[in-house]
Every structure is written in C-alpha cells, then in structure tokens.
Amino acid sequence: MAAALLEMRNIDKVFPGVRALSNVDFTLHAGEIHSLMGENGAGKSTLVKVLTGVYPKDGGTIHLNGREISPKTPKEAQEEGISTVYQEVNLCPNLTVAENIFIGREPRRFGFIDWKEVNRRSVELLQKLDVDIDVNKTLDNYPVAIQQMVAIARAVDVDAKILILDEPTSSLNEGETARLFKIVRQLQKQGMGIIFISHFLEQIYELCDHITILRNGELVGSYEVAKLPRLELIARMVGKDLNDVKDMDKMAEKSVPSEEVFIETDHAASIGQIKDVSLQIHKGEVIGFAGLLGSGRTETAEMLFGLKDVTGGQLKINGKAEKLANPMAAMKDGIAFCPEDRKLAGIIGDLTVRENIILALQAMDGMFTHIPYSEQVKLADQFIEKLRIKVSDRDQLIKNLSGGNQQKVIIARWLATHPQFLILDEPTRGIDVGTKTEIQKMAVELAKTEGMSVAFISSEMDEMVRTCSKLIVMRDRRKVAELTGEQVSSDGVMQAIAGGDN
Amino acid sequence: MNKKLGEIIASKYFSFFVTVILFAVLYGAGIAMYKGFMKPQVFLNLFIDNAALIIVTVGITFTLLIGGIDLSVGAVLALTCMVLAWILANTGIPVFAAIFIVLLMGTLFGALQGYIIAKFDLQPFIITLAGMLFCRGMTAVISRETINITDPVFVAMADFRLPVGPGFVSMGVLIALASLIIAAVVLGFTRFGRNIYALGGSESSASLMGLPVFRTKVSVYTISGFCSSLGGIAYALMMLTGYNLHGMGMEMDAIASTVIGGTLLTGGVGFIPGALFGVLIQGVILTFISFQGTLSAWWTKIVVGALLCVFIIMQAFITEHKSKLTAQSSLEENS
C-alpha cells in the first residue's frame, strides 16, 4: 500500500484524573474509509479532538503526508486539510445556508464579501451532494438531516485531505443515510482519507475498509473489515472473550412476572396523543412498547408517568383507579421515568454525579427536607458501584461523562427512589454495545430480584426481543397486539405492525 | 397558518419591517394630528437630538449581536464629555488632539473590558456594570460641577449647520450617519462582521468552524467603547458641557432601541438599520409629547417600556414559530 496519508504515533492525552489516551497509534491512507470503534469513553472522540486541534496532545507525533503537524486550534487543523463533521451539527442556526458553508473563508472582492459568489458556489456544492434548497434561508429553517448535509458541504469544500465524520448518521433515516454513503464513497474515490465513527455496526461493515479499535484509551488493534467478524469486533471492543459475548447475545433468562398486576389501563386515551391502549403490567415483568416512530409508544409511557392526561378510559394502580395528575403523583405511587432525550430532559450537566443521583429523591422528599451529606455520599457510591458507572469520583460533573455513563446516572437517580415501576424510554440510544448490554441485563435483573415492573422502550427491535417478557405493539396511537412468550420475536413484532394494512 | 405568511414571519427581516412600519404609522399619526409634524426640520431634528444615542446604539448593537451586553456606554459617554471639557478648560492641548485623546481613552477602555470578558470567560453584564460604575465615579472625581466648553474651535463645530433641503443637520448627525454606514458595511460585508453573527449564533460552533472567537469578542467591546466615546463627542457638541449626570440611563435607551429594531438579546440576529429606527421611534414619541404640550416627557419612557414588552413577546413568538418550522419539516422527512 502507498505511504500513509496520516500517521499518529504514541498519542497521549491526560485529563485531570483520567488518562484519556495512552500510546495510541492510528494510520490512515488516502482513499480509505477507516472506522474508529470503541465503547463510549474508549477515547475515540478524544483522539479525533486531538487531531482536529480542539485538545492539545500531551505526547506523540502526528504526520500528515510525511510532514509533522501539531494543530493547536480547529482553524489550524482545517488549514492543514483536516475537516470534521461533528455528531451534533456544529453550525450557526442564525446564518444562511450559504454563509454556514463559507464563513471564515468567504470569497472577497475589494476586501468585501462577494455574496453573489458565496451563494453561487454554495448552490454548486450542495448540488454535488444532491441537495436542492434555498441557500439564502437561515439554517434553522431546515431539518437536522439537511443541516448535516450542509455541514458536509462545508467540510468538503475546505480542500480537505481528511474528512472526519463523527456519528453522522445518528439523526438520519435510511434514505438519508444511503445518500450520505454515496457521497462518502464519491469522496473516497477522489482520494480523500475518511474517518467514520458510528455505533451502527451494519453501517461500518457496509462502508468501511479498515477498523481501528480503542478500549479505555488504549489501542486494541487495527484490522481489515473483511477479516474481522462482527462478534470478534464486539469482543475486542468490550475486552471480553468471544464466548462471553456469545452468551451475552443470548442473554440470561428473562424475568418471569408474578400474578400481581401493578398498573393497568383499560381503553385509555389521551386527546391527540393516544387513541386506545389497554394493558396490564405485572410485578416483576419487563414489558416493551414496540412500534414505529410516532406510533404512540413514548406517549403511552408518558401517560403512565402523569405527563399526559388520561382523558378517556381508566388507569388503575394496584387495582385502584387513579388519576395521575402530574409526575409527582406518579412518583408518589412508585413510578419512575427515564426520558428519551437524556441531554434535554435527563442530566443536569453542571451538577455532579452525586447531585444528579439524589435529585429525584430530593424532589420526592420535598425541597425543604435535607438529605444529609453522608447519606448522599452513601447513595452515590452505592449506585456507582452497583451500576458500574465509570467516574473519576462522585463529585465529577456529569457533563464530562460519556453518554452511557450519563444514562447510568439517570437510572441510578430513579432507582434511589425505590420505584415499583421503572420506565426506560430509549435508554440505550447513542450508547456503545457493551453498556447497552449492561443496561438490558440490569432491566431484567431488577425485575427478577426486586420484583420491579420495568417498561423498556427502544427503536432497536432485537434489544426489546432479548429483554422483554411481554411486548405491547403500537400503531397509529393504538395498541394493535400484545405478544408474550414465544411470540416475542422480531418476526412477531413486524407482523403485528404490518398487520391489518394489506 | 397561511404558508406565505409563515415564511414572512420566519424571514430575518420581519422585526425590522414591523419597526419601520411602526415608525411610519407613528409619524403619519403625528402629521394627521399636528400640522407642525409636516415640517421637514421636525424630521431632521429627530436625528439632531438623538445623534449621540444613535452612535452609542451602533456600538451596543455589536455587543448584543454576539449575545453580550455593554452597560458602560452611558458612563463612558459622560466621562468622555467630562475629560474633554476638563482638557479644554485646563490645558493648552489643541481641540483635535483632545478629541483624539478621549476617543483613544474610550476605545482602550472598551478593549480592556473585552479582554477581561473574553480571557476569563466572564459575564459581560457584570464586567461592564463594573465599568459603568468606574466611569461614572471617575467623572464625578474629575468634577462635581458642570464644566463649560468655551473653546472657540469646538463651539464653531457645535454651531456648524449643513443645509439639507429646506432644513439643516448638525455635525453630530454627520458623525452618526457615518457610524451607521460604516457599521452596516462592516457587519454585512466583511468577514469580521459575519464572524460576529456566527459567534452570536453559537459560540462553540464558531470555534469549531475555526473562527477567531477571542479576537472577535475583544474587538466587539473595543468598538462599543469607541462608539461610546464618539457618542460622547456628539453629546458634547450638543451640550457644550462636561457633567457628571450626562447620559444617565443611556445604556438602557440604547438597548431598548436595538431590541425594538429587531436585535435578539440572545445574539446572532439583528442589524444596524433596525437600531436606527429603534432610536427614531423613541424620538417620534418624544416629539409627539412636546407637540401635545401638557404631558410629561416621562411618558416617552412609559410608551417605550410598553413597546419593548410587545417586541420581546413578538420575538418569542417568532422563535417559537421557527422551531415549529424545523420540527415540521423534520417530521416530513421521517415519515
């Protein structure tokens, strides 16, 4: 193979209390799509940020085309030809599409920005990506998928030699993803080196040539995709034996629910949200809400937590009719809810892990009841150990944790209130395989050992099939099927979702 | 909602249009009610009386655009008047050198505030509040009494009248118009200007896109400091005094003008002509009151307060409308 485009050798990066990268090597060739894999917190993002000049490196060398570089700011990295499209779109919503593509390097005439040229070239660039939009409108007029394309247009235009795509597909649907892949392959043909980071294994195997795996800030190895079966990849990522992983996939036995019903609804409806849902959730049962996006699965969960009013039908808790007026009422009845959007509705970034854990308990006890510090510490430490949350210490700010660990803290927050019914809405979104499995296991464990009822909502069907002993299938805001025992399978769910519409 | 209407509301010029229409309506009402409003000089007087405020508003718009604020503008203006008057009264420094000195002083003061804010990532509200108290205090330290400016050159400049049609404008108006034009060009057509908008839209994005965040921040406060002292010169030209209570609360008038002119306090949205109309609307209301004859001038504040409230609510409505727009189109994408 030709000489490497990019060679990173012995890269070290230390954050206060954490060794984020130690002795990591990474090699990228021109015309190669290279995936960087690892669990959350393995150091992928850190490595990328070292390369793009966001973080200064603490040791090691970076060579681009044989010449040593050390970008200190994103601007310097861009000037070297290293472009990045970040997971959350990092553009300015208040500027026009054209400006977002060209800001910082607008074509000028007599020292003033040549707007005509900016607009003309933006249209041209976007057309290459098959995007046909009004570039004169501000970015906030467009959905995330389009914004992502704009970010790519920007990255590609900077005469990039290397393009880094950090989770570019997490907010795209299938069609959009396919379109993105087409573009990426096109760029590959032009000789660009592409670093592709994603949690979706399918996509990695579809798109990439090479995989470099990181674990706990260390290099595990670099492999050709064709020679690395998926199971082996996962095993290397989580650092376990291949056989362990196989077991993990099968998952320990599911929880067997008791006869007692904790919460039930009878033809429950909520105006504009849910049309008709009847369900029974037993103690010690892991129940899943399946269905497509917009089918009403999240709304059902929210109704059970008092976030949506029950406007028709009935809701019973422990056999007694209840009206959950608000979340506090639901909490008093022993219901806990980990919401879908953990960044927006879950974590409080500037509080510590300990403070985030005691939050729900504090809310239940009332604002004026003091939870003694020693008690807080005990609780926090107990959950950090129990859920194996990776923190440098309990007073670390939660925003500095990886996504998976943040999710665990949120779950800990609710477990601290000793709920009888725990609702997990998309608890594994954007989380690495290892932690995903841990969270699934935990849901089953809680149901088995503590007799807790758990509702598990996920867009990944296998995940629910593996975890839940009962599945409620939703379509068009109604329950269309209830699957138990053997019926709980991907096939069963698909048929239920498809059923009726010939 | 009508799609066309929806698009108009989402347009970045929507609040500006509302402001201009409001100005036209107010002025039209003035003409309908009082004959005097018809005189061109009444219109020109809006500029003459508010020249200093216009210049200060231009400066503060820069800071609001990056999502910051500069509370020190009124105090810097007062300090400028005072130092200028003191120099002219007590030293032999020629008038243009004195003007240069006070402009430099204001600019450096702005740069210092900007440096502190950017370097230590501090709240601009607090830093410029400190700056305001400092300058206001310094003004009083120099003199508790009014110092009159009697320098013949300066007085001649103050008396200068440029004929415009049947009326005239003052030197201050020329300075104000020049500031408006330069600011509008800088914001609209230079990289520096666009970086300001980017910074106001999202600071982290701006930095990840490789834009010079630090430099831009410092420059913005420097410009605001410069405009405050330039406004001070215009103010001195009108009042011919240095006085501790000059420009009291002017920062608030300037912020109000900017907001009424369509600038979002969260940063990233707004532009210079809007700020001008913001000032002019306040001027029209004041003119109204003086024509009416019996109302207290404080009614201006009451009306401006009410307007401000209406505009802020309108902005919230626009923002909500826009986020709905994004959500809608993404749903379409997903289905």
ipTM: 0.83
pLDDT digits (tens, 9 = 90+) for B190-228: 999 999 999 998 888 898 888 899 999 999 999 999 999
Cβ distance of B329 and A142 shorter than 8 Å: yes
Distance from CA of B200 to the nearest CA of A (A): 8
Domain A6-249 and domain A251-334+419-502, same fold? Reply is yes
Indicate if the pLDDT at residue A501 is higher than 50: no
> Which residues 6+ apart lie within 8 Å of A357 measured at CB?
A376, A379, A380, A383, A409, A412, A413, A416
Name the pairing type of β-strands A320-321 and A335-338. Answer: unpaired
CATH of span A251-334+419-502: 3.40.50.300
Q: What is the mean pLDDT of residues A413-419?
A: 87
The residue ranges of every structural domain in chain B are 3-327
Indicate if the pLDDT at residue A483 is higher than 80: yes
Contacts 24+ apart (CB under 8 A), A70-79: A73/B210, A74/B207, A74/B208, A74/B209, A74/B210, A75/A104, A75/B210, A75/B211, A75/B212, A76/B210, A77/A51, A77/A52, A77/A53, A77/B210, A78/A158, A78/B210, A79/B210
Distance from CA of B231 to the nearest CA of A (A): 27
Q: What is the mean pLDDT of residues A27-32?
A: 91
Residue in chain A closest to B188 (alpha carbons) equals: A113
Residue in chain A closest to B198 (alpha carbons) equals: A92
Question: Diameter of chain B by CA atoms?
Answer: 78
Interface of A with B in 178-217 (CB under 8 A): none
Indicate if the pLDDT at residue A403 is higher than 90: no
Better-scored residue on pLDDT, A461 or B241: B241
Give the per-residue pLDDT at A332.
84
Q: Rounded to a whole number, what is the distance in angstroms from the first to the last CA of chain B?
A: 21
Name the pairing type of β-strands A218-224 and A453-457. Answer: unpaired
Distance from CA of B329 to the nearest CA of A (A): 6
Cβ distance of B209 and A95 shorter than 8 Å: no
**What angle is formed at CA A264 by the lines to CA A262 and CA A266, rounded to 5 degrees?**
165
Q: Which of A116, A140, A144 to mutate to test the interface with B (most CBs of B within 10 A)?
A: A140
Q: Do the beta carbons of residue A491 and residue A499 sit within 8 Å?
A: no
Cβ distance of A145 and B330 shorter than 8 Å: yes
Give the per-residue pLDDT at B132.
96
Cβ distance of B210 and A74 shorter than 8 Å: yes
Phi, psi of B200 (to 5 degrees): -70, -30
Distance from CA of A13 to the nearest CA of B (A): 20
Mean pLDDT (chain A) is 83
What gap in Å lies between CA B82 and CA A373, rounded to an integer?
56
With beta carbons under 8 A apart, name residues in chain A contacting B194.
95, 99, 103, 106, 113
With beta carbons under 8 A apart, name residues in chain B contacting A343.
none
With beta carbons under 8 A apart, name residues in chain B contacting A140.
322-323, 325-326
Q: Do the beta carbons of residue A458 and residue A475 sit within 8 Å?
A: no
pLDDT digits (tens, 9 = 90+) for A237-269: 767 665 555 554 455 567 777 788 888 888 888
Q: Which of B12, B15, B189 to mutate to test the interface with A (most CBs of A within 10 A)?
A: B189
Give the per-residue pLDDT at B330.
44
**What is the CATH architecture assignment of A6-249?**
3-Layer(aba) Sandwich (3.40)
Does residue A53 sit in helix, strand or coil?
Answer: coil
Distance from CA of A412 to the nearest CA of B (A): 30
Residue in chain B closest to A75 (alpha carbons) equals: B210
Residue B332: which pLDDT band, with cuts at 50, 70 and 90? very low
What gap in Å lies between CA B180 and CA B61, rounded to an integer?
11
With beta carbons under 8 A apart, name residues in chain B contacting A110.
none
Residue B331: which pLDDT band, with cuts at 50, 70 and 90? very low
Residue in chain B closest to A94 (alpha carbons) equals: B201
Give the per-residue pLDDT at A241.
60
The residue ranges of every structural domain in chain A are 6-249, 251-334+419-502, 346-418
Q: Which of A49, A92, A122, A135 to mutate to test the interface with B (most CBs of B within 10 A)?
A: A92
Q: Which fold has domain B3-327?
A: ABC transporter involved in vitamin B12 uptake, BtuC (1.10.3470)
Model-level pTM greater than 0.90? no
